[in-house]
Structures are given as C-alpha cells and as structure tokens.
Chain A
Amino acid sequence: MGVSRLTVFWVFHLLAMAVLVAGCWLRVSIWLEGQIDGRAPAGARRALVASWRFVRRVGWRRVLRAFIVHGLLHPRLRAGDRRRWQAHACMLGGFAALAGLSTLTGFAQEILIGLFRVDHPLVRALANKDTPLVALLNEVLGLIMVISLAMIAARRYVRRPSNLRTGRPDTVLIVLLAATLLSGYPTEVLRLLAEQVPAEVARYSFVGYLLSLPLRSVRWPWEALHYWVFLFHSLIASAFLASLPFSKLFHAAVSPLVAAANTVAREAEA
C-alpha cells in the first residue's frame, strides 16, 4: 500500500476521461462525414453554423422544450410501456444525478480544498462523504440505479419481449454496470469500518451502515481491505465511463439531441 489509493484512482480516472473524450470525438467525426444541406462532408464549422441557424430559426424555447419533453422525459415510451419507462428514467436520472454529485464532491475535495485551500462550511460539507445530505443522496441514488438495473435485467433475461434481442455486448454492459454499482456497497461498508465512523454519522449511509453492523466487533485489517476494494470499485467505474462512447449507452448522450431535432423539425413541417 505504498501508493495512496487516491493517487492510483486519479491517474486511472484521468486516463479513462481521456479515452472517453477521444471516443466521443471519434463518434462525432463520423457524423461530420455526412451531409448538411446536401453537401458532404459537413465538417465541424458548417455543422455548428447550420445548428446555430436552425435554433435561431425555430427559437431556443421550442428547442429546449423538445429537448426536455421528448429527449429526456420520453412521453411516447411512457405511454407504450410504463414499467420500461420507469426503469429507463431511474437509470438515466440516477446516473446523471450520481455523476453530478461525484463530480461536485471531487471538485470540492481536490480542487477547492486540495488546490486552493478554500475553507468554507459548504465546501467542507460537499467534500465530506459523511455529511448527512451527501451520504443520503449517494445511498438513495445508488439504490435507485440498482433497482432500475434489476428491472432492465429482468426484461432482458426473464420476461423478454419477442422483438428484443440480447447479445453479448448487452450482457457485458449489464455485468459491468452491476459490478460498478454493487461493488459500491462493500466499499462503503469497509470505509465505515476502516475510518471507524460513529454510528450517529454512519447511519445516513443506511445500506452501508446496516451491512457494516455485524462486522463492527470483528478485528480485521479493514484499512487494507478498503484500499483494494476501493480500487476495484473506482477502477471499474472509470473503465465503465471510458467504454461509454464505444457501447450502446452512448445513446444516452445522442438520443435526446436526435429526439429534440426530429420533434422540432416535425413541428416546423406541420
């Protein structure tokens, strides 16, 4: 345990973020090979100008409304299959909220406190995983994602609609997501034990706290165990993020844009 776990995490996480950005650029560069106004390749500049003109012509409000209603809330999916919509909304919402919270916590911890030595109660509260609101949000959002993943897996493997095909990439994605989400719980249990977080503080991480209760009296090398389980959890989470542009989950970034553009174009034609 010579190297700090956070050092290993940040090195791997920054590498993963570089892969994520490169993958996104690769996808976008493929789109830019297509036509705009009948001419190809579109190129980044022409695509930006055409998008800007399109938004100016139809109005920001209309585009924003279409993005939120059709891109994020999916009324057609909701009308067609309520349970599928719930699983989808929980997964997308939980992922976005958890990613936002983790980014805020990391920013407060590493940049505001670590780099700029900011000493403000709000920054300290955000950086601390045991702040009641941060702990509760992490726990609830994680739980929402686990439940939605179970619903998605059940639809794929238990009560599969006849048109739905589940290939190896789908299974790999579900296993990777499950490993990322579920390894968060032993990581939290071991952190509470290694840092000997008092019960009145730890109880806000209610799942982790409940799982840690039977182990509180056991004398094991919790710190060393936490080191390795934390690395497993954080490295697999970073690898999952890096794989996004190369997997079908990339649709989470593209579908809202396409749904908004198609809705506005349809409305403009009508």
Chain B
Amino acid sequence: MSVQPKLSGYSVRQLMELDACTRCGECVAWCPTFAENRQELTHPLGKIARLRDWIVRH
C-alpha cells in the first residue's frame, strides 16, 4: 500500500524549501537513515525528487 502525500500536510515554508533545494548533496552527509542503510529509497535527494515529481503530476 503506498501512502500518497498531501500538499496540505506541509507548511508553506516547507513547500518553499523544496524549491530552494539546489540538489547540492550536502544533506546526504547529515542523513542518519541513509548513513545506516545506504539505499536509494532513503537517499535525501531521491526523497526530494520523488516529492517534486508527485507535486508536478498532481
């Protein structure tokens, strides 16, 4: 079962932060989940990209 995100679940500032992301990869060094499992699904840039894709599609 996939859980679909809702825009109304985010604050305006969080949605702005998605557009402020430059995909520089700095966050990867600070992500404890990705550091633990090194899987593409938990890669911070991957998560941001999937959320962006979802927003564009909806």
Contacts and interface: CB of A to CB of B under 8 A. Distances in A.
A and B co-occur in one complex: yes
Interface of A: 27, 30-36, 40-42, 47, 161, 163-165, 170, 248, 250-251, 254-255, 257-259, 261-262
B29 interface: yes
A41 B10 CA distance: 10
Given A254-B19, A258-B16, A34 B25 contact: no
Given A30-B7, A33-B7, A35-B10, A254 B16 contact: yes
Contact of B25 (A35, A164, A259): A164
B14 A34 contact: yes
25 contacts: A27-B19, A30-B7, A31-B12, A31-B16, A33-B7, A34-B11, A34-B14, A34-B15, A35-B8, A36-B11, A40-B8, A47-B12, A163-B26, A163-B28, A163-B29, A164-B24, A165-B45, A248-B21, A250-B19, A251-B19, A251-B20, A254-B16, A254-B19, A258-B16, A259-B20
B23 interface: yes
Given A163-B28, A248-B21, A254-B20, 12 more contacts: A30-B7, A31-B15, A31-B16, A35-B9, A35-B12, A41-B7, A42-B12, A165-B25, A170-B23, A248-B23, A254-B16, A258-B16
B16 to A, nearest CB: 5
A258 B15 CA distance: 10
Q: Which 4 A-B pairs have the closest CB atoms?
A: A163-B25, A40-B8, A33-B7, A258-B20
- For the complex, would chain A's binding face be called helix, strand, loop or mixed by DSSP majority? helix
B39 to A, nearest CB: 15
Interface in B1-37: 7-17, 19-26, 28-29
A36 B13 CA distance: 9
Most buried by B among A31, A161, A251, A258: A31
B12 A36 contact: yes
B55 interface: yes
Contacts of B21: 248, 251
Contact of A34 (B8, B20, B28): B8
A161 B17 CA distance: 23
Contact of A258 (B7, B13, B28): B13
Most buried by A among B12, B13, B17, B28: B12
A165 B16 contact: no
B49 to A, nearest CB: 9
Contacts of B26: 163
A42 B8 CA distance: 9
